[in-house]
Amino acid sequence: MNLNDLGPLMVRRQDGGLDLDRFRTDPILAALQWPDDVLRDFLFEHGDHGPFVADYGHLDLSAITWTLETLPATDFHTMPTGESEAGLIEHFAQNPVYWASVKVPEVGRHWEDHGTWLRPPLLIDRRLWGPSDSGLQVVEGRTRVGVLCGRQREGLYVASHHRAWVGRP
């Protein structure tokens, strides 16, 4: 099963919130067993985003296991993102203080106090594309990874390790 088989993913409730019921009741989607944080982030960012589906729609979602992992800050410096959003991480890295400040105030304070993000990004193991691919790719969280890279480049406080949801085969 892949994203192209699912049709529209995001269902909004009348109050504007996300309806996660489809992911709890649809047998195919429930079998993915995505953690609530992964599911919420994924739907919020990409539920009806055509370019995202073009980048990742071919992946067999049932072959992915999601875990919350702690990774060295240096690992994020060379991580790509999907082809449709190439260059966005570097765009955000060019002005990390600004991009952290345009979010809710807690985001900027968290970067200053802890040197990391409030909400872990979603990464995916590139071996899901084939055995010749390696490393991790940013699926969701390009702004956060860009802020991290930019803060490090500018000599601002950055934690040595960061948490991220990682999808692996």
Tokens of 75: 């690992």
Q: Which of 67, 70, 23, 57 is nearest to 43 (CA)?
A: 23
Rg over CA atoms, the chain:
16
What residues make up the domain containing 139?
Answer: 3-168
Whether residue 76 contacts residue 122, with contact meaning beta carbons closer than 8 Å, is answered with no
Per-residue pLDDT of the chain (169 residues; tens, 9 = 90+): 555 555 555 555 666 665 666 566 665 556 556 666 666 666 665 555 566 667 777 777 667 888 889 999 999 999 998 888 889 999 999 999 999 998 888 889 999 999 999 888 889 999 988 778 889 999 888 899 999 999 999 999 999 999 998 988 8
Q: Which residues pair with 124 in a beta bridge?
A: 137, 167
Structural domain count of the chain: 1
Whether residue 140 contacts residue 45, with contact meaning beta carbons closer than 8 Å, is answered with yes
- The structure's pTM equals 0.76
- Cβ neighbours, 10 Å, residue 135: 12
Tokens of 125: 């193991």
Q: Which of 76, 59, 50 is nearest to 137 (CA)?
A: 76
Report pLDDT for 169.
Answer: 86
Contacts of 91 (CB under 8 A, 6+ apart): 146
